A and B are shown apart, each in its own frame.
Chain A
Amino acid sequence: MVSRSLIGILAGAAALALSAGGAAAQQKLKVGFIYVGPVGDHGWSYQHDVGRKAIEKAFGDKVETTYVESVPEADSERAIEQLARTGHGLIFTTSFGFMEPTLKVAKKYPNIKFEHATGFKRAPNLSTYAAKFHEGRYIIGQIAGKMSKSGTIGYVGAFPIPEVVAGINSYFLGAQSVNPNIKIKVVWANSWYDPAKEADAAKALLDQGVDIIAQHTDSPAPIQAAEARGKFGFGQASDMERFAPKAQLTAIVDDWSKYYVDRTKAVLDGNWKSQDVWGGIDSGMVVMSPYKNMPDDVKKMAEETEAAIKSGKLNPFKCPIAKQDGSQVECKGNGALSDEQVLGMNFYVKGIDDKLPQ
């Protein structure tokens, strides 16, 4: 699959380079994308591809986009360099593991603009961008806190890394804010993507008295398991309503479209600059899909919380934050945890009974 798509794209790119070579073309901006998964993963890579299509739609004839899917992180340098060599002026690499290869290629081609998702290494021609998904998790936590009848909510996590841990904490803090006695059970699938195992993990949670499932793995299997049992859940990365029309309360959708269009425009206008963006609900990168299958008062609460986060009035990690042992976390941000603290979060907040695997 990998080789198929790689070869296909390389052949296509080569043909394009040949045909464009003679003509005095090159006014067209070529925008390239590197995806870590298949476009059809329903989640992460799929949403980046939605962003790519938005670029095509916004600029029509002025741009041309290419993507290479299912690029293994270890082998990504070749794919990135190939895009650089075939006349791409702007290249998005959309997984954390592409960081070093992107940096390396960016140094080699100083005239090409690079954008790396979720990384932290920048260069004059290399920007980074990511989204504050934990803001959305606070909202779904509140919904879960209100909707749970058993008083125990569940979470299917992929790996115990800071990004996921911050999501669990935010989810739990949200739930706790509306129901101080709420309990949470966390199951680690130790995989980003194993639909059958994710389904089993969700079933295990449901069997143990959980009635709301949240997930930080990539397939719709957990929410589908909730649907089959007549329980509720939340979509991850993209709107998963079609998989669980009765169970999906809302979904945290990664929406890269606006960012991708803005950055493409910046290159076209000649004012692109290297930057670091960590956008939340206010930036439009994190979008909540319509609130459904819940009473009006819960819906109203969710909408109000969303508005409060958007306007900056509410921060899920507002101080004081206590760790499991009750000790206070030092408040390095402005009345809340700083970005660095959230990005490096390696503890559970007070109230979570479980032990965080380290």
Chain B
Amino acid sequence: MTTFEAILLTIVTASTPLLIAAMGELVTERSGVLNLGVEGMMAMGAACSFAAAVTFDSTLLGVAAGILAGALMSALFALVVLGFAANQVGSGLALTILGLGLAGLIGAPFVGSRRDPIAVVDVPGLSDMPLIGRLFFEQDLFVYGSIALTVLVAFYLTRTRSGLMLRSVGENHTSAHGLGLPVWRIRFLAILFGGACSGLAGAYLALVYTRFWSPGMTAGRGWIALALVVFAAWRPGWALVGAYIFGAATVLQLHAQAAQFGVPSQVLSAVPYLATILALLALSIRRGRAIGAPGSLGMPFVPDR
């Protein structure tokens, strides 16, 4: 395996959790709900998945638990912002704090446990191709899953009736309500989907990326996922690109340090964030108009009786 191949493989691992979480949040936001609790849901996903995986010695159950934990957290959020039409920004921030704290509590007995690496799926024949073989055909299921998720979300949003309904609810909930669309139900499901994805991203962190649990291990990745959604201008394809740019910048700066490029490491550490800002700038200049945020994003929905 060449160094170049090795670098590409690490980039995939670094990008996958960002992509999964961003994809969930993207769907939630397209329905008009801003959930800032990604970091908290991710932490819960990581803690619960790890706890379940160790307790039952099953990665599969761990993943299921992570998804469930994320979904449950988001259901709580949905209750507050849909049921009581509470402020979404405040509720989302509260969800993050709650999630980080709860995750610490749930994970406490599992501090110090470890899991073995999960198996990679090797496509026989194809994985032996030079350079791209291992990159495309010898990854774990999460990686394939995250790509499939992106394709499915893109297809769902643009090619299905249900996706169109979700988008119209996000663009203008009053009109959508007037047309007889079930605004609350659609948003509830979109929030649940977002939570489940955050939980899955957390499960990936705990079960594949680090393979142990410790408090605070999400280390801000939930916030990056949120930024990616804006970066992508709420489009799944761009979220994929953004996640990989970010993952690449993170990994490459470490390689640049090891290769002794002579650039201060603090500057290199800032590269991923600079890349995000520059990309945002480039996107907004190119479009020449407001980036396509859903019209009703962040606004509580209180229908007239």
Contacts and interface: CB of A to CB of B under 8 A. Distances in A.
Interface of A: 1, 3-4, 38, 40-42, 70, 154, 160, 185-188, 190-191, 193-197, 199-201, 203-205, 207-208, 210, 219-221, 224, 228, 242-243, 353-355, 357-358
Interface of B: 3, 6-7, 10, 13-14, 100-101, 104-105, 107-108, 111-112, 114, 117, 205, 209-212, 214-217, 219, 221, 250-251, 254-255, 257-260, 262, 264-266, 269
27 contacts: A1-B100, A4-B101, A4-B105, A38-B216, A40-B104, A40-B107, A185-B260, A186-B257, A187-B254, A188-B269, A193-B216, A195-B210, A196-B14, A196-B205, A197-B219, A199-B209, A199-B210, A200-B14, A200-B251, A200-B254, A201-B257, A203-B6, A207-B258, A221-B212, A224-B210, A242-B114, A243-B212
Contact of A40 (B215, B255, B266): B215
Contacts of B7: 204, 207
B186 to A, nearest CB: 34
B257 A42 contact: no
Contacts of A186: 257-258
Nearest to A357: B264
A195 B10 contact: no
A357 to B, nearest CB: 4
B258 A355 contact: no
Contacts of A4: 101, 104-105
A40 B10 contact: no
Contact of B3 (A40, A41, A207): A207
A207 B6 contact: yes
B254 A204 contact: yes
Given A38-B104, A42-B112, A195 B255 contact: no
Contact of A42 (B100, B111, B209, B221): B111
A208 B212 contact: no
A160 B250 CA distance: 19
Contact of A196 (B6, B217, B262, B265): B217
Contacts of B262: 355
A186 B264 CA distance: 12
B1 to A, nearest CB: 9
Nearest to B220: A194
Nearest to A205: B258
B32 to A, nearest CB: 31
Contacts of A355: 260, 262
Contacts of B216: 38, 193
A210 to B, nearest CB: 7
Given A3-B101, A207-B3, A208-B258, 16 more contacts: A1-B215, A38-B214, A40-B104, A40-B214, A154-B258, A188-B266, A194-B217, A196-B14, A196-B209, A200-B10, A200-B14, A208-B259, A210-B258, A219-B210, A224-B212, A353-B260
Given A196-B217, A199-B209, A204 B101 contact: no
A154 B258 CA distance: 8
